[in-house]
């Protein structure tokens, strides 16, 4: 009887340990998996491209006016841009302007990640009153638990979705081509720097300020690119031409000529 009782207790202990081990493994696997909210506080995420080629992310958030959002732009898994914005009237938000170092991102598929924490560090008091500390007044199904082991302790907003970037406007592309060109300047030779780099050089030197770039197409299909600027406090314009067929870029005036050349150091 004692031996049978001993073996019976041993089997019970073994089974208990097995279930304990299964529980630990299940918890580890659960915590290692990415947690996804069942419902979304953000809808209608879309993109638009500005005349300068920059990308703007728009959407609607079911959150109070003034709620702070952080918007990440990713190319596959690589973070290529990050800005913060606030929810406006009707839940609308707009985040931008995303560029690739001042150049337009090419068309294609990208990912947008939107994050928001409902804490005093992140949100103004008037927002926390409505959403609750750690989102306690928000549907738990729409939040990612801050601690997956204790989901009722509060959470944050985090969603990731795929978006497509629209095509680059023809005028923005013409401006980009001029800015990236290294021109041959009569009497000086080929510049070691692009037009954009030369403009930046003069700006850093002082007394010169770039205001805006614009482009218009003439009757022959060629583009005239204009830089509005301040030179020694005076408003001026510098202009270049771009021929889409020959791909040739030319400076059209003395100021554009000066802004098209830097010597080798």
The full DSSP string for 47-59 is EEE-TTS-EEEEE
How many CA atoms, within 13 angstroms, populate the side-chain half-sphere of residue 166? 15
pLDDT of residue 161: 95
pTM of this structure: 0.65
- Where are any strands of DSSP class E within 99-181? 108-116, 144-145, 155-165
Taking each helix axis from N to C end, the angle separating 170-180 and 195-205, rounded to the nearest 10 degrees, works out to 70
pLDDT of residue 16: 52
In a domain, 264, yes or no: no
pLDDT of residue 20: 53
pLDDT of residue 6: 44
Q: Which of 113, 138, 165 is the last residue of a domain?
A: 165
Instruction: Determine the structural domain holding residue 82 and report its residue range.
Output: 42-165
In a domain, 80, yes or no: yes
Residues 143 and 241 in one domain: no
Residues 210 and 196 in one domain: yes
pLDDT of residue 14: 53
Residues 137 and 243 in one domain: no
In a domain, 95, yes or no: yes
Q: What is the total count of domains within the chain?
A: 3
Q: What is the pLDDT along the chain (265 residues), one digit of tens a residue?
A: 444 554 454 454 454 554 455 444 444 444 444 455 557 899 999 999 987 789 999 999 999 999 999 999 999 999 999 999 999 999 999 998 999 988 889 999 999 999 999 999 999 999 999 999 999 999 988 999 988 888 778 899 999 999 999 998 899 899 999 999 999 999 999 999 999 999 999 999 999 999 999 999 998 999 999 999 999 999 999 999 999 999 999 999 999 999 999 998 7
Residues 161 and 88 in one domain: yes
Q: How far is 98 from 53, CA to CA, in rounded Å? A: 9
């Amino acid at each position: 009887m004692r031996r049978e009782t001993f073996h019976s207790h041993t089997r019970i202990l073994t089974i208990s340990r097995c279930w304990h081990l299964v529980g630990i493994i299940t918890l580890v696997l659960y915590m290692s998996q990415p947690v996804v909210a069942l419902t979304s506080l953000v809808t209608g995420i879309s993109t638009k491209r500005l005349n300068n080629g920059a990308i703007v992310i728009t959407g609607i958030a079911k959150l109070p006016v003034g709620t702070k959002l952080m918007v990440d732009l990713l190319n596959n898994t690589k973070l290529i841009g990050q800005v913060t914005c606030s929810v406006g009237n009707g839940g609308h938000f707009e985040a931008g302007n995303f560029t690739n170092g001042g150049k337009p991102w090419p068309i294609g598929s990208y990912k947008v990640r939107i994050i928001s924490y409902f804490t005093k560090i992140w949100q103004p008091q008037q927002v926390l009153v409505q959403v609750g500390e750690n989102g306690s007044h928000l549907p738990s199904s729409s939040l990612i638990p801050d601690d997956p082991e204790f989901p009722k302790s509060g959470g944050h907003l985090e969603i990731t979705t795929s978006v497509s970037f629209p095509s680059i406007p023809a005028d923005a592309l013409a401006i980009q081509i001029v800015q990236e060109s290294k021109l041959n300047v009569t009497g000086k030779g080929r510049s070691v720097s692009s037009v954009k780099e030369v403009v930046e050089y003069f700006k850093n030197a002082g007394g010169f300020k770039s205001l805006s770039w614009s482009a218009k197409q003439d009757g022959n299909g060629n583009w005239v690119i204009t830089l509005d600027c301040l030179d020694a406090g005076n408003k001026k314009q510098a202009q270049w031409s771009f021929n889409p067929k020959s791909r040739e870029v030319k400076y059209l005036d003395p100021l554009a000529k000066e802004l098209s050349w830097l010597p080798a150091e």
